[in-house]
A and B are shown apart, each in its own frame.
Chain A
């Protein structure tokens, strides 16, 4: 029986792979059906995941196992239910209270997190001695790192017109940003091609059995 379901799983996978790839020809009912199945399954997956891995361990289990120690969790539970009131137009305003808790928490957490990780840590990592390196390539690289970071930050300074020294620095900043975007693009392209190779391996290996890993 398990063999049957394994084969069924492979055939389902192959069928949906072809349905999605059919979009390369043109938009068609097979693609649209597969696309909608993907949307539905995705929503269903996150629905179940949220209940089993967020709400049950953080809300249901603490309340049912030791209510007297965890009764305070009733507050976020009520706020969560208030959030669902957004589905009804007349009671939509009720959802502002849980939203304000989420926004307040996010703002507080992000304020500290980004101050530490994205500003202070990055500044600290840039304050290096460029001339301590095992080769001249590293020294050049470190100089580029310092100049690139400073000029890149100058490019994001929009309170003054980018002319004169500021303009030249901002221009150098753009060059570094372009190299960064190019490298990111290259990596993205490679990741997508790697996924495509994975799909072909599935079709030719698991489904047709032509190639063997």
Chain B
């Protein structure tokens, strides 16, 4: 029951959704719509599970005073702080336990949860990703060493695309006569993006698409069972 029933549920749900595409009438059309809402609700609980799991893992690290445990206290405090503000005064147009908090929102310019989101979370996120600009430079050095035809192609495509999207690129080839306009760097960049890059992306999409279709069939038919875990 612990293994067979989940397999049966997966098969039934998967088959209903596939059939509903070909027979969009009662009961399949209705069932597939309802199943998609169920999916959304259960996924919501799965997200909560992720956050609670993070909470549990951090508590364990603090309890056993693992290396750098003090920083995990900061994680927990900021998590609790954010959740508390969200529950008390809500976010956006949604009211919290204490309503919309007009007075506090008036004083802060935002609801407290949104204040934290705009003034701390967004800055942290943008800086964290901008930090990668420095590391991507060293990654580029390693990736772009032109040893083979493949790495040279990678280098040429990246450089041309980057130059074509900057004013420097426009300046470099802006003097070209009309008959050679196709060599103007923004045009070269556009050509690369429209044709060879699309071809490569398309091949990846078709390959990955076929792989996903195969995996989905294996899961629905119960051949692939790794999601049930060990035992």
Q: Chain A residues in contact with chain B, CB under 8 A?
A: 1-2, 5-6, 8-10, 12-13, 16-17, 20-21, 23-24, 32-56, 58-59, 72-73, 75-77, 79-81, 83-84, 86-87, 92-93, 96-112, 114-115, 117-119, 122-123, 125-126, 135, 137, 140-142, 144-149, 151-153, 155-156, 173-190, 192-193, 195-196, 198-199, 202
Contacts and interface: CB of A to CB of B under 8 A. Distances in A.
B170 interface: no
B43 A104 contact: no
Contact of A119 (B17, B77, B79, B210): B210
Interface residues of B, number: 132
A112 B22 CA distance: 10
B68 to A, nearest CB: 7
A142 B195 contact: yes
Given A36-B74, A87-B53, A112 B42 contact: no
B83 A9 contact: no
B157 A182 contact: yes
Contacts of B115: 5, 9
Contacts of B176: none
B98 interface: no
CB-based closest 6 A-B pairs: A152-B203, A148-B199, A180-B200, A44-B82, A108-B17, A182-B157
Contacts of A101: 9-10, 13, 35, 38-39, 42
Interface string B144-168: 0000011101111111111001000
Q: What DSSP secondary structure best describes chain B's contact surface? A: helix
A109 B39 CA distance: 11
Contacts of B11: 104
B15 interface: yes
Contacts of B40: 54, 58
Nearest to B143: A185
Given A153-B203, A186-B161, A98 B216 contact: no
Nearest to B156: A182
Nearest to B124: A38
Contacts of A152: 199-200, 202-204, 206-207
A186 B166 CA distance: 12
A55 B107 CA distance: 30
Contact of A104 (B10, B128, B205, B208): B10
B140 interface: yes
A26 to B, nearest CB: 13
B218 to A, nearest CB: 9
A36 B71 contact: yes
A9 B51 CA distance: 26
B106 A45 contact: no
Nearest to B192: A183
A145 B195 contact: yes
B26 to A, nearest CB: 15
A97 B9 contact: yes
Contacts of B10: 100-101, 103-104, 107
Interface in B75-123: 75-83, 86-87, 90-92, 94, 106-109, 113, 115-121, 123
B155 A182 contact: yes
B195 A144 contact: yes
Nearest to A100: B6
A193 B208 CA distance: 30
Contact of B51 (A21, A47, A111, A189): A47
Contact of B207 (A40, A58, A76, A153): A153
A125 B206 CA distance: 12
Contacts of B42: 76, 79-80, 83, 98, 101-102
A174 to B, nearest CB: 6
